[in-house]
Amino acid sequence: MQKALNVAIISVILVAIIFTALMLILKYDEKGETNMPFKVSKISIISTADAQDVEDKNNKWNKIVELDNDIYIYIDKNEQYKKTETIERVVINNFKIIEQPKKGKISIYKPVEDKNAIFKNNDESKVEEVIYIGEQSTEIQKLQISNQGGIIAFRFANLDIGNLISNENQLEYKDLLKIINVTDEEIKSKVSFDMTIELNGGKKFKSEAIELIIPVENIVQNGKSSKEIEDLDLVFKRIEN
């Protein structure tokens, strides 16, 4: 009798341990790390209509219209985390165009070192991965982030949306999309990317498939729109070296 009771008690304890372990695994799978050294506080999107000139001797204006979506990610130190950690680098990769726009084609660009512009849509700055190195201070155009937190940036550019030919005396860039008669729905897209924060002590935290809808609303009407996303639900998980 006593032996059977002992077996029953041990069985109950084992079931409880297994159940608790499963619950912890499920919670981690859903929530990820709950006390990281650094956290993403917000993501800012700035959408701007732009155009590239086409050589044309017969018309005053000949431009290929495009749409730039500049993404700024704010990484802050977690004041609730009591240990001292520093950022070694931040990696943005695994870019995906989940929903292609009906007009144009999306490419990804990194910042450039130019006193006149943060981004340029050229072959030299077109990338499949963006890496920011941890330094003493944040300098976006040098692909540097402060090792205690800062801002990183990259661009989703929708190229070749349409051709604008005009002989009007003036051309307002804010009206580019309206002039070529595109709609917000035709240039709407859903994109995603992975983000990994690597620390100098060897720890790595990764959030997969961070999704964004671009461009920001009312871009056709306004020519430039911006949005800040602070209610983030990013799941970062510890990855092994």
Where along the chain do its domains lie?
Answer: 1-31, 35-239
Exposed / middle / buried, residue 210 (Cβ in 10 Å: 0-12, 13-18, 19+): buried
Confidence at residue 11, expressed as pLDDT on a 0 to 100 scale: 58
Q: What pLDDT does residue 174 have?
A: 92
pLDDT of residue 8: 58
DSSP conformation class of 202: S
The whole-number pLDDT of residue 169 equals 87
pLDDT score at 233 = 84
pLDDT at 30: 46
- Mean pLDDT per 10-residue section of the chain, whose length is 241 residues: 58 56 47 80 97 93 97 95 94 97 97 95 97 98 97 98 93 93 97 97 94 97 96 87 60
Task: Quote the pLDDT of residue 6.
Answer: 56
Let me know: does 62 contact 164? Beta carbons within 8 Å. Answer: yes
pTM over 0.75: yes
What's the pLDDT score for residue 82? 84
